[in-house]
Structure 1
Amino acid sequence: MPHLNIEYSDNLPALDAGALLLAMNQALLASGQFDECDIKSRAQKMDAFRIGVSLSPRAFVHGRLSILDGRPHAIRQALSACLLQVLQQQCWPAGLELQLSVEVLEIERTAYAKACIEC
């Protein structure tokens, strides 16, 4: 824990998903809430998407951070704010409206199972 899922529109061809995930993982580690080896992140490019009804160029990046329940609201809010800040600091293309968002979801601790296997 945590699991970070990034979804982004496919009209952001210059987005380096690997570099973005590294920056996001570094921000999560710096928060002091997680052990380095527990942070798992992945990115998915969405080739089918629609933002509103306008034909003007629009794009999005959305982060979904899933963490075990029990952390105070202030910590969850700080986590979403620090991840949004990482998104805002990226180099984005000119000429399109870009929507950046982050949500923090809680996973019920008693219903989460995890195993670590060394191969």
Structure 2
Amino acid sequence: MPHLYVEYSANLAEFPERQLLTELNAAVCGHPTVVDPLDVKSRIAAVQQFAIGTTPGLNGFVHAHLHLLSGRTPEVKKELSDRIAEVLRRLTPQPAGMLVQLSVDVVDMDRGSYYKGRL
């Protein structure tokens, strides 16, 4: 915990995956509620098959899901969402003539049933 999942439409050419993950981890790890940077696990995936509206190819998206153990205040969740959105805005390619939608969702994970172990 936290787990950060990023999906983006594959029509965003030259998407900076490594840089995005590095900067997203720095943004999340830099929040005072994240005690151990090793707890932040991020991954990214290009979505090959997607549909946005009715005009294929003229639209793209980047969506981030941040999964946190339950218990954080709405204010903390908003701060984390804003940090992630800032990185997405800064690093997402903007191909000419394409509308790119950015979104962030913060999801509570049930603290009682969540398992974490280390080997």
Shared fold by TM > 0.5?
Answer: yes
Gaps in structure 1 of 5+ consecutive residues: none
Aligned length: 117
RMSD: 1.1
Per the TM alignment, residue 94 of structure 1 is displaced from its structure 2 partner at its CA by 2.8
Tell me the SS of whatever aligns to 2:45.
Answer: strand
In the other structure, the counterpart of 1:52 is 53
Query: Structure 1: how far apart are the matches of 2:46 and 2:52?
Result: 15
* TM-score for both structures, normalised by structure 2: 0.93
Percent identity reads 34
In the other structure, the counterpart of 2:110 is 108
Query: Structure 1: how far apart are the matches of 2:109 and 2:20?
Result: 24
Structure 1 runs (4+) deviating above 4 angstroms are none
Query: Structure 2: how far apart are the matches of 1:113 and 1:9?
Result: 31
Query: Structure 1: how far apart are the matches of 2:95 and 2:66?
Result: 27
Query: Structure 1: how far apart are the matches of 2:6 and 2:75?
Result: 22
Query: Structure 2: how far apart are the matches of 1:69 and 1:24?
Result: 21
Per the TM alignment, residue 56 of structure 1 is displaced from its structure 2 partner at its CA by 5.6
Query: Structure 1: how far apart are the matches of 2:94 and 2:5?
Result: 22
